[in-house]
Amino acid sequence: MSTHTPAPTGTAPSAPARPRDGGALPGRATLAAAVPGAFRKLHPRTMARSPVMFVVLVGSVATTLLAAADPGDRFGWAVTAWLWLTVLFANLAEAVAEGRGRAQAESLRRTRTDTVARRLTADRAAEERVPGTALTVGDLVVCEAGDVIPGDGDVVEGVASVDESAITGESAPVIRESGGDRSAVTGGTRVLSDRIVVRITARPGETFIDRMIGLVEGAARQKTPNEVALTILLASLTVVFLLAVVTLRPFALFAGAGAQATPLVLTALLVCLIPTTIGALLSAIGIAGMDRLVRRNVLAVSGRAVEAAGDVSTLLLDKTGTITHGNRMAHAFLPVRGVTVAELAAAAQLSSLADETPEGRSVLRLAEDGHGLPARDLDAVPGADWIPFSATTRLSGVDVTDGGTVRRIRKGAAGSVARWVRDHGGVEPVEADRIADRVAAQGGTPLQVAVSDTEGARVLGVVHLKDTVKDGMRERFEELRRMGIRTVMITGDNPLTARVVAEEAGVDDFLAEATPEDKMALIRREQAEGRLVAMAGDGTNDAPALAQADVGVAMNTGTAAAKEAGNMVDLDSDPTKLIEIVEIGKQLLITRGALTTFSLANDVAKYFAIIPALFAATHPSLDRLNIMDLAGPQTAILAAVIFNALVIVALVPLALRGVRYRPAGADALLRRNLAVYGLGGLVVPFLGIKAVDWLLALFL
């Protein structure tokens, strides 16, 4: 291992400041930066993405032409000005939401540096210095203390402390090592100590940071299925109101009220009756939902994933690192009768030399530090054929040939070791199974160590691995139950261990001795029953299940395969954040539903404001509909148009912040939504239009 510290090959990026939550109101600088974007969005091709606001744009152009035909009509110019402000306010809401993403993207751009990579030659005998942009997939690069990692990749040799603050915003360094599920490194991060060899897995321009920049800017955001369905509904309502308003002109002419039902007034009526509030805020709500995830250091590949999180009904959580602390370390060697602790420790050490998992390395530490065995490496055992740990066989070990005699040693899960012993002519390990059951009953994880030599195949004993449940997990799972979400713990441990941990943590169910195929089968079974499934994972063996799940959250510390398979990446690598993701998804859906309810309800007040103004002069009996006692036809119409524009501005903070979510069932949430936003959508416009009408009458 190198002990010198070379000169840095790139400039260390500074950690961007990332607020954990957005404020309710956008700042003055944010608003100023968003105003040009609001005007750029007036392009018809951009406006056409929202049918409701496109109709408002067309109406604004039409009223502008009508007002220009009669320059002295102050009422026409006032209506026209406020219709244009309605369009601009809607664009401003979306521009503010996008502006927050661009600010975060800019902080990420500062992490990209032009590094010089130390690429290994084909025979790995020498290094050559090349620009980081010249690296291709599969290249091996050396990084030592002080070096900036030139690209995304996996550690294939060594272990090092890495500063990832430029990506995660966290100042504490993390350990990256070959093998296991903590081998992935990200370009732009800095090595703080030791030496690692990294295999590049992404081409320049397609790195993780590049993908993050595109996504947080909103460039890659597509409308979700629910968003598309709601857009179709709003477009349908717009067509219905358009037909209704168009027919008012001939009715008005027939009734003798044609003077009031002018094209300008009818355009104002149409804009007030169509659901402009939700049409203006719909895109901002979706962008803000992804923004809330990014502020919690979670990158969502699409808005669809955020939305799906809100509908999740089954949550799959790994035991290790999620429900428990994840530091399953070898605690003790427990030999069977006739075997000494020293013999078991020596066999466990040999069988773990090719095991790159954290558990395997902890066995080595216990054998060397706890039992005084000398440290060994793979080259120290002549005639050895090493068997690395495999998630399929759940075994690791070695075959040592000495003078024509082969001695085989295996370490792994009790069931796998028992099968291996039987396959090699051994007997059922009854005593070892009793020891394993005792370890499992204590909440530990038992690994068995077996040997096959001239004396036959037999189990030498058990390695006791210990782990503990994280504080507060039972309360979190109880909260999920109140949301109507079922939790399932996934573990490779035996059923007895899994049951003890599941009962302590308070999960609803568990899947023990889970293989990648078992996880896939469980997810498909849940989906076949109509449930949406969320899962967190970090290993290559989790990749198929992450791809199958409706919401797959990959840990940033995990393998490249896991991050490619999932539709979200947690930069903090905190699996319990999956619970927060579900809450953010539900908040997104509730916010959209609440503002849709408010938008549809507040049309009622505008109806009572404008219809009496149109026909009351011809049909005095309709004046009874003027329940707000508005001053006159022009002030009533103008008050409705002004309120219609201002309510968009008033609701922008709520769209960006989101409606506060409280764990409750769907029925309770629906009742609360109707009581607060349905009733509020009826009452607030009456008060608002009346207040604006009073001011107009006072000053005009």
Which residues are catalytic, by number?
A: 318
Write down the number of H helices and E strands in the chain.
24, 21
Reported as type and span, the H/E element at residue 628 is none
Reported as type and span, the H/E element at residue 125 is none
- Confirm if 218 and 191 have CB atoms less than 8 A apart: no
Dihedral sign (CA 147, 152, 158, 159): positive
355 among the known binding-site residues? yes
411 among the known binding-site residues? yes
- Upper half-sphere CA count for residue 529 (Cβ side, 13 Å): 10
394 among the known binding-site residues? yes
Bridging pattern class, strands 551-555 and 568-570:
parallel
538 among the known binding-site residues? yes
393 among the known binding-site residues? yes
Q: Which two tokens stand for residue 57?
A: 């744009």
- Alpha-carbon Rg of the chain, whole angstroms? 33
408 among the known binding-site residues? no
389 among the known binding-site residues? yes
- Confirm if 245 and 273 have CB atoms less than 8 A apart: yes
- In sequence order, what are the beta bridge partners of 522? none
Q: CB pairs under 8 A, 24+ apart, for 364-370?
A: 365/329, 365/330, 366/329, 366/330, 366/331, 366/332, 366/333, 366/463, 367/333
Q: How far apart are CA 130 and CA 11, in angstroms?
A: 16
Sequence-distant (6+) residues with CB within 8 A of 106 are: none
- Assign 680 to helix, strand or coil: helix
Q: How far apart are CA 386 and CA 380, in angstroms?
A: 12
- Assign 128 to helix, strand or coil: strand
542 among the known binding-site residues? yes
390 among the known binding-site residues? yes
Reported as type and span, the H/E element at residue 177 is strand 174-177
Complete DSSP assignment for 235-252: HHHHHHHHHHHHHHHHHH
Residue 143 main-chain phi, psi, to 5 deg:
-130, 125
- Upper half-sphere CA count for residue 679 (Cβ side, 13 Å): 7
Amino acid residing at 626? N
Q: How far apart are CA 215 and CA 209, in angstroms?
A: 10
- Assign 660 to helix, strand or coil: coil
Binding positions are 355, 359, 389-396, 411, 538, 542
Query: Residues within the annotated binding site for ATP?
Result: 355, 359, 389-396, 411
As annotated, the binding site for Mg(2+) includes 538, 542
